[in-house]
Amino acid sequence: MLFTKDELEDAAQLVHRQVSPTPQTVWPQLCEKVAATVWVKHENHTPTGAFKIRGGISFIDWLTRTDPDVKGIITATRGNHGQSQARAAVAAGLQVKILVPRGNSPEKNAAMRAFGADLVEFGDDFDTARVEAIRLADVENLFMVPAFHVELVRGVATYAYEFFAAVPDLDTVYVPVGCGSGICGVISVRDAMGLKTKVVGVVSTEAQTAKLSFESGSLVETNTANTFADGMAVRVPVKEAFEIYSGGADRIVAVSEDEIAEAMRIYFRDTHNVAEGAGAASLAALLQERDAMRGKEVGVILSGGNIDADMFATVLQGGTPG
């Protein structure tokens, strides 16, 4: 077990000093589409528009307590992790450098700069930017914040703690998977609370490293991760995360880019919520498996709503971003 209930409660108290608990809501039109009771955990309702804010709070709290002489941090991101780290680190008086791949979301880039980050574009994907961030950490004497760390998971897990406390009888929860902090947080809370809820990871068909690794029982890299759902655009699996979800998840489902775009439209039409690609992936997976979920109580994690306006306009007009 990754965390005890007391440790989760302590993490929740830490996070809730800065971020109010997010709602979990049953939306009738979603229930009709699946013929099940569908609970949406609205992590798009945080001050950064995504669940990652929780990990930023817990990680920077841990870092400044364990290394009071740290002068600054560096990390790599596609956006939501970077916003969370910049927000928390600047508030703690630290320097922040963030690497993003070329062609990253302009609006996420702008948000990270607004939170105080020195933003650098490098490489063609997240994993290339991550390697460069590790190199620069040594050169510039900055603390390298990884995409996955137990202290990140500790904060992220608080959304699952809220969710399971409110709805403990969920049969299945669908969780998007990038580097893995979200799904590992859900698994850790489920186990700490002694629940029987099945946890299902969700990836894009264009970024299947977590699914391939899960199904083979060993780490499997992919050559590309070309999904518009940038929160899941990972081609190199994280070993520490794999060790948790490989034993704790029931299965990992792949959804197509078209399925993700349709789930985004459904969220907007049926609930008037904006979901980014990764945020809509859980609903896309539930819709794919609706026959198996009929009559059950099911949860989906709307992990974030940070999508560029032009891309969202394409989606709402019936298209799938390329």
What is the SS3 string spanning the chain? CCCCHHHHHHHHHHHHCCCCCCCEEECHHHHHHHCCEEEEEEHHHCCCCECCHHHHHHHHHHHHHHCCCCCEEEEECCCHHHHHHHHHHHHCCCEEEEEECCCCCHHHHHHHHHCCCEEEECCCCHHHHHHHHHHHHHHHCCEECCCCCHHHHHHHHHHHHHHHHHCCCCCEEEEECCCCHHHHHHHHHHHHCCCCCEEEEEEECCECHHHHHHHHCCCCCCCCCCCCCHHHCCCCCCHHHHHHHHHHCCEEEEECHHHHHHHHHHHHHHHCCCCCHHHHHHHHHHHHCHHHHCCCEEEEEECECCCCHHHHHHHHCCCCCC
What average pLDDT does this structure show over 224-250? 97
Reported as a pLDDT band with limits 50, 70 and 90, residue 114 is very high
What average pLDDT does this structure show over 201-207? 98
Based on the number of CB atoms within 10 Å of its own CB, is 122 exposed (0-12), middle (13-18) or buried (19 or more)? middle
* Residue 321 falls inside a structural domain: no
* Residue 256 falls inside a structural domain: yes
What average pLDDT does this structure show over 162-170? 98
Same domain? For 85 and 40 the reply is no
What average pLDDT does this structure show over 221-242? 96
**Count of structural domains, the chain:** 2
Same domain? For 195 and 295 the reply is yes
Q: Which domain holds residue 89?
A: 53-144
Contact, 176 vs 304, CB < 8 A? no
pTM (predicted TM-score): 0.96
Sheet holding 143-144, edge to edge: 118-121, 95-100, 72-76, 143-144
Same domain? For 125 and 162 the reply is no
What average pLDDT does this structure show over 78-85? 96
Cα separation of 312 and 290, whole Å?
Answer: 25
Same domain? For 105 and 159 the reply is no
* Residue 74 falls inside a structural domain: yes
pLDDT digits (tens, 9 = 90+) for 118-147: 999 999 999 999 999 999 999 999 999 999
Judged against a pLDDT cut of 80, whether residue 173 lies above it is answered with yes
Same domain? For 162 and 299 the reply is yes
What average pLDDT does this structure show over 239-257? 98
Predicted pLDDT of residue 233: 96
Same domain? For 23 and 127 the reply is no
Residue that has been written with the tokens 């928390």 in this structure: 88
* Residue 306 falls inside a structural domain: yes
At residue 79, what are phi and psi to the nearest 5 degrees? 150, -55
Same domain? For 129 and 275 the reply is no
Domain boundary among 144, 172, 202: 144
What average pLDDT does this structure show over 46-61? 98
Counting residues of the chain whose pLDDT is more than 70, the rounded percentage is 100
Predicted pLDDT of residue 322: 87
Same domain? For 218 and 119 the reply is no
Domain boundary among 93, 115, 144: 144
Same domain? For 77 and 167 the reply is no
Predicted pLDDT of residue 306: 97
* Residue 168 falls inside a structural domain: yes
* Residue 220 falls inside a structural domain: yes
Counting residues of the chain whose pLDDT is more than 90, the rounded percentage is 99
Same domain? For 171 and 274 the reply is yes
Same domain? For 287 and 269 the reply is yes
pLDDT digits (tens, 9 = 90+) for 175-203: 999 999 999 999 999 999 999 999 999 99
Judged against a pLDDT cut of 80, whether residue 1 lies above it is answered with no
Predicted pLDDT of residue 200: 99
Predicted pLDDT of residue 310: 97
> What's the CA dihedral at 77, 80, 85, 87 to 10 degrees?
140
Looking up residue 216, the CATH number of its domain turns out to be: 3.40.50.1100
Sheet holding 172-176, edge to edge: 24-26, 37-42, 297-302, 172-176, 198-204, 251-255
* Residue 205 falls inside a structural domain: yes
Predicted pLDDT of residue 256: 98
Cα separation of 139 and 302, whole Å?
Answer: 38
Domain boundary among 79, 111, 144: 144
What average pLDDT does this structure show over 69-92? 97
Same domain? For 116 and 245 the reply is no
